[in-house]
Structure 1
Amino acid sequence: MLLIRAIVRPEKTGDILSELLSAGFPAVTKADVFGRGKQKGIIAGSVQYDEIPKEMLMIVVNDEDKDDIVKIIMRVARTGENGNYGDGRIFVSPVEEAYTISTGKKGL
């Protein structure tokens, strides 16, 4: 199992969730987050904004589904033809175990 964490522009979240659902991946956790990337925030005139609002999507999947999900997120979250700063980041980490609280069942 793998945990995919995608930090994306808030305006792209609805489209990403719709595409994931259409592709058969309905289970997603979403959280509002703030941060900055390599661009070190945004400078507008004499004001620098350090913390940019983003949304983090978290999805635990079987290993074989990783590439499909990453491709969907990359395609839908990218702005412009070649993408732009601030489009986001995707992190993939191993998950050792998962349990359903209501049933006690192990696994997805």
Structure 2
Amino acid sequence: MLLVRAIIRPEKVGTVLSELLSAGYPAVTKMDVYGRGKQKGVKVGEIFYDEIPKEMLLIVVEDTEKDDVVKIIMKYARTGESGHFGDGRIFVSPVEEAYTISTKKKGL
């Protein structure tokens, strides 16, 4: 199993979630997060923003589903054809075990 963490622009979340659901990936956790990437923040006029609001999506999938999920997020979280700074990042990490609390079952 793998954990896909995607940090994306807030205005892209609805589309990404809709496309994930349509592709058969309904189980997603969403969190409001704040931070900055390589650009070290954004200056708008005289104001410098070093913590930019983003959304983090957490999706646990089987190893064979990772490429599909990453492709969906990349396609629908990107701004424009070539993308822009601040579109976000995707991190993939191994998950050793998962349990459903209500059923006490192990696995997805």
**Structure 2 spans left out of the alignment, 5+ residues:** none
Query: 1:82 and 1:14 mapped to 2: Cα distance?
Result: 21
Counterpart in the other structure of 1:104: 104
Kindly provide the CA deviation profile for residues 62-107 of structure 1, in whole angstroms up to 9, marking residues without a partner as x.
0000000000000000001100000000000000000000011000
Counterpart in the other structure of 1:79: 79
Q: Which amino acid in structure 1 is aligned with residue 24 of structure 2?
A: G
Counterpart in the other structure of 2:41: 41
**Aligned pairs for 1:53-68 within 5 A:** 53-68=53-68
Query: 1:51 and 1:94 mapped to 2: Cα distance?
Result: 28
Query: 1:24 and 1:11 mapped to 2: Cα distance?
Result: 22
Q: Secondary structure at the match of 2:91?
A: strand
Shift of residue 45 of structure 1?
1.7
Q: Secondary structure at the match of 1:96?
A: coil
Counterpart in the other structure of 2:88: 88
Counterpart in the other structure of 1:14: 14
**Structure 1 spans left out of the alignment, 5+ residues:** none
Q: Secondary structure at the match of 1:21?
A: helix
Counterpart in the other structure of 2:69: 69
Q: Could you tell me the percent identity over the aligned residues? A: 77
Q: Secondary structure at the match of 1:26?
A: coil
Q: TM-score, normalised by structure 1?
A: 0.99
Q: Which amino acid in structure 1 is aligned with residue 88 of structure 2?
A: G
Shift of residue 46 of structure 1?
1.9
Counterpart in the other structure of 1:5: 5
Q: Which runs of 4+ in 1 moved over 4 A?
A: none
Q: TM-score, normalised by structure 2?
A: 0.99
